[in-house]
Amino acid sequence: MMQNPFGSQPDPGLYSYANLKKRLYKNVQAAGVKDEIFRAVQKAFEEALEKEKLPLAREKRERLLAQVMKDVLNDMLTKLESGPKS
Protein backbone atom coordinates (compact mmCIF):
# COMPACT_ATOMS: atom_id res chain seq x y z
CA MET A 1 0.00 0.00 0.00
CA MET A 2 1.35 3.42 -0.96
CA GLN A 3 1.64 6.11 1.72
CA ASN A 4 0.23 9.60 1.12
CA PRO A 5 3.32 11.80 0.53
CA PHE A 6 1.51 14.86 1.89
CA GLY A 7 0.60 13.29 5.24
CA SER A 8 -2.90 13.04 6.60
CA GLN A 9 -5.32 15.40 4.93
CA PRO A 10 -8.67 16.50 6.38
CA ASP A 11 -11.73 15.15 4.62
CA PRO A 12 -12.52 17.85 2.01
CA GLY A 13 -16.24 17.04 2.30
CA LEU A 14 -16.20 17.75 6.03
CA TYR A 15 -14.18 20.92 5.51
CA SER A 16 -16.60 22.12 2.83
CA TYR A 17 -19.58 21.32 5.07
CA ALA A 18 -18.03 23.22 7.98
CA ASN A 19 -17.43 26.25 5.76
CA LEU A 20 -20.96 26.09 4.36
CA LYS A 21 -22.42 25.84 7.86
CA LYS A 22 -20.34 28.83 8.99
CA ARG A 23 -21.46 30.93 6.00
CA LEU A 24 -25.12 30.00 6.47
CA TYR A 25 -24.92 30.82 10.17
CA LYS A 26 -23.45 34.25 9.41
CA ASN A 27 -26.24 34.94 6.91
CA VAL A 28 -28.94 33.87 9.36
CA GLN A 29 -27.38 36.02 12.08
CA ALA A 30 -27.16 38.99 9.70
CA ALA A 31 -30.88 38.60 9.00
CA GLY A 32 -31.57 39.26 12.69
CA VAL A 33 -33.39 35.97 13.23
CA LYS A 34 -32.38 35.63 16.87
CA ASP A 35 -33.69 39.14 17.56
CA GLU A 36 -36.99 38.31 15.87
CA ILE A 37 -37.33 35.10 17.88
CA PHE A 38 -36.52 36.96 21.09
CA ARG A 39 -39.08 39.69 20.35
CA ALA A 40 -41.77 37.13 19.45
CA VAL A 41 -41.29 35.17 22.68
CA GLN A 42 -41.04 38.37 24.72
CA LYS A 43 -44.28 39.71 23.24
CA ALA A 44 -46.13 36.44 23.87
CA PHE A 45 -44.69 36.38 27.41
CA GLU A 46 -45.85 39.95 28.13
CA GLU A 47 -49.34 39.20 26.77
CA ALA A 48 -49.61 36.01 28.82
CA LEU A 49 -48.37 37.79 31.94
CA GLU A 50 -50.95 40.52 31.43
CA LYS A 51 -53.72 37.91 31.16
CA GLU A 52 -52.54 36.47 34.48
CA LYS A 53 -52.79 39.95 36.03
CA LEU A 54 -49.72 39.34 38.15
CA PRO A 55 -47.65 42.35 39.08
CA LEU A 56 -44.01 41.30 39.18
CA ALA A 57 -40.92 43.28 40.12
CA ARG A 58 -38.63 43.93 37.17
CA GLU A 59 -35.99 41.49 38.42
CA LYS A 60 -38.51 38.66 38.84
CA ARG A 61 -40.11 39.47 35.49
CA GLU A 62 -36.72 39.31 33.73
CA ARG A 63 -35.80 36.05 35.46
CA LEU A 64 -39.16 34.49 34.55
CA LEU A 65 -38.78 35.65 30.93
CA ALA A 66 -35.32 34.05 30.78
CA GLN A 67 -36.70 30.77 32.11
CA VAL A 68 -39.63 30.78 29.69
CA MET A 69 -37.31 31.69 26.80
CA LYS A 70 -35.01 28.79 27.71
CA ASP A 71 -37.98 26.38 27.79
CA VAL A 72 -39.25 27.61 24.41
CA LEU A 73 -35.81 27.23 22.81
CA ASN A 74 -35.34 23.77 24.35
CA ASP A 75 -38.75 22.76 22.96
CA MET A 76 -37.70 24.02 19.53
CA LEU A 77 -34.47 22.01 19.67
CA THR A 78 -36.32 18.88 20.75
CA LYS A 79 -38.74 19.29 17.88
CA LEU A 80 -35.86 19.81 15.45
CA GLU A 81 -33.99 16.76 16.72
CA SER A 82 -37.07 14.51 16.52
CA GLY A 83 -37.46 15.31 12.84
CA PRO A 84 -40.51 16.16 10.76
CA LYS A 85 -43.80 14.50 11.63
CA SER A 86 -45.63 12.88 8.74
User: Based on the structure, what is the number of domains in the chain?
Assistant: 1
pLDDT bucket at 11, cuts 50 / 70 / 90: low
Segment 34-82, tens digit of pLDDT = 999 999 999 999 999 999 998 899 999 999 999 999 999 999 999 999 9
Rg (CA), the chain: 22
Q: Is residue 36 part of a domain?
A: yes
Q: Is residue 23 part of a domain?
A: no
What does 21-60 look like in DSSP terms, one character per residue?
Answer: HHHHHHHHHHTTHHHHHHHHHHHHHHHHHHHHT----HHH
Cα separation, 61 vs 1, whole angstroms = 67
Range of the domain at 49: 28-81
pLDDT at residue 7 in the model: 59
Q: Is residue 6 part of a domain?
A: no
Q: Is residue 34 part of a domain?
A: yes
Q: Is residue 35 part of a domain?
A: yes
DSSP summary character for residue 72: H
How many H helices and E strands in the chain? Answer: 3, 0
